[in-house]
C-alpha cells in the first residue's frame, strides 16, 4: 500500500491536452527529469495509484505534457483535472543523487547527517568524476544514494548517514 508520507508532490494536472488522454501538467519541482521516471502516482478516491507514463514532452520549464497507459482519451483525462502528481520519495532521493549531473540544482540545500548533525549548506555539486560529490566548505561529501536517507525539497534539506570518520579526513 502506498502511503502519503512516502510520496513527494511534484505538480498537478492542469487540463487535458488533445483527445488522446494527454495532460498539461504544471510542475513545482524543477529537479524532475520525466525522461527517467516510469510512473507517477495519483490520489484516486483516497487511494494512491501508480500510473505508467506512456509518453512525455516538455512544454516549457514549468510544464510538461504527459500521457498514461490507463488514460486513453480526453474524457478520462478531464476527470483527473486538478489532481496532484506524486512520485515516491525513494525515487526522488535516487533522482537527486544520480541525476542532474550537469547542474547545481541541489546547491543551497542544507546537509544534515545522522552522526555529525548539520554539516552545512551545499555550495556546489561536483560531477567531474564517476562519483558525484557535494561541496560544503572544505568537505567533499559523497552524493550517492547509499548515504542519502531523505531529501526534503520543501525545507531544502538533505539527510544522510555518512561513514564514521569521513569528516575527520
The domains located in the chain, with CATH, are 4-96 (2.40.30.60), 102-164 (2.30.30.240)
Q: Which of 66, 48, 57 is nearest to 7 (CA)?
A: 48
Q: In sequence order, what are the beta bridge partners of 152?
A: 157
Measured in whole angstroms, how far is the alpha carbon of residue 136 from the centre of its chain? 22
Question: What value does the mean pLDDT take over residues 146-158?
Answer: 83
- For the segment 127-146, the average pLDDT, to the nearest whole number, is 83
Query: Cell triple for residue 16?
Result: 487535458
Q: Between 143 and 20, whose confidence is greater?
A: 143
What does the pLDDT look like over 72-90, one tens digit per residue?
Answer: 776 776 778 888 888 887 7
Percent of the chain at pLDDT above 70? 83
* CA 8 remoteness from chain centre: 7
If you count DSSP H runs as helices and E runs as strands, how many of each does the chain have, helices first?
Answer: 2, 13
| CA–CA gap between residue 47 and residue 62 (Å, rounded) | 27
Amino acid at each position: 500500500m502506498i502511503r502519503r508520507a512516502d510520496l513527494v508532490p511534484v505538480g498537478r494536472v492542469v487540463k487535458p491536452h488533445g483527445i488522446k488522454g494527454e495532460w498539461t501538467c504544471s510542475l513545482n519541482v524543477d529537479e524532475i527529469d520525466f525522461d527517467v521516471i516510469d510512473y507517477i502516482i495519483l490520489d484516486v478516491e483516497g487511494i494512491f495509484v501508480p500510473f505508467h507514463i506512456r509518453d512525455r514532452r516538455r512544454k516549457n520549464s514549468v510544464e510538461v505534457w504527459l500521457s498514461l497507459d490507463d488514460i486513453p482519451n480526453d474524457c478520462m483525462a478531464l476527470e483527473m483535472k486538478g489532481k496532484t502528481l506524486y512520485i515516491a520519495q525513494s525515487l526522488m532521493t535516487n533522482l537527486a543523487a544520480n541525476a542532474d549531473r550537469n547542474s547545481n540544482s541541489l546547491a543551497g540545500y542544507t546537509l544534515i547527517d545522522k552522526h555529525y548533525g548539520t554539516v552545512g549548506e551545499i555550495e556546489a555539486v561536483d560531477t567531474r568524476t564517476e562519483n558525484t560529490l557535494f561541496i560544503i566548505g572544505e568537505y567533499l561529501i559523497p552524493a550517492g544514494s547509499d548515504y542519502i536517507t531523505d531529501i526534503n525539497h520543501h525545507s531544502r534539506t538533505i539527510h544522510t548517514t555518512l561513514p564514521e570518520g569521513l569528516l575527520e579526513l
